[in-house]
Amino acid sequence: MDKKGIIHFTNTPKDHRFKLYIREGKETLGKKNHTLYDQLILKYSRKHQVDFALIKAIIRAESGFDPQAVSRKGAKGLMQLMPETAQRMKVTDAFNPRDNIDGGVRYFKYLLNLFDDDIKLSLAAYNAGENCVVQRGSIPPYPETVNYVKKVLNFYQSYKH
């Protein structure tokens, strides 16, 4: 709501005053979208030696398979790469599925190495930031992060079967 009392809606918030009203897409996507990026996920999960089902679960939780997704914090693309992470992983176009998945899988592999292959800590770091998890030595007690880890692990179990 602006100073004049006018309510504004957007699917690309650029101001912290915007509040989530309706989440688009994520859980309402058809099965076709759930398999659309399987070949890319397979390619980069093999290349970087990370479980295909785990990467697919991360993508589902992060963007609901929407390559144009943008979070309110500025994360972009299928794996919701923050601009700093994208730059660190040399991803020039975070909306390009190939670049995004390659960079996201490389970053997740880095986290797995950092946390001695502890999937839960690596997922927490992917969500809350690696420094936060390193400092705590555990999953931060943020509801968003705790729920994120559970959600990804549930998706992971379903994709493994």
Rounded Cα–Cα distance for residues 72 and 79 (Å): 14
**Nearest partner of 66 among 105, 36, 111, 104, judged by Cα:** 36
For 108, counting Cβ atoms within 10 Å of its Cβ (0-12 exposed, 13-18 middle, 19+ buried), the class is buried
Rounded Cα–Cα distance for residues 47 and 106 (Å): 9
Catalytic, out of 62, 84, 130, 144: 62
Question: Are 59 and 65 contacting, i.e. CB atoms less than 8 angstroms apart?
Answer: yes
In 26-50, which positions are buried (b, 16+ CB within 10 angstroms) versus exposed (e)?
eeeeeeeeeebbeebbebbbeebeb
| Category of 91 on φ-ψ map: left (φ > 0), alpha (ψ -120 to 50) or beta | beta
The answer to whether residue 24 is catalytic is: no
Rounded Cα–Cα distance for residues 98 and 70 (Å): 17
Q: Please identify every residue annotated as catalytic.
A: 62
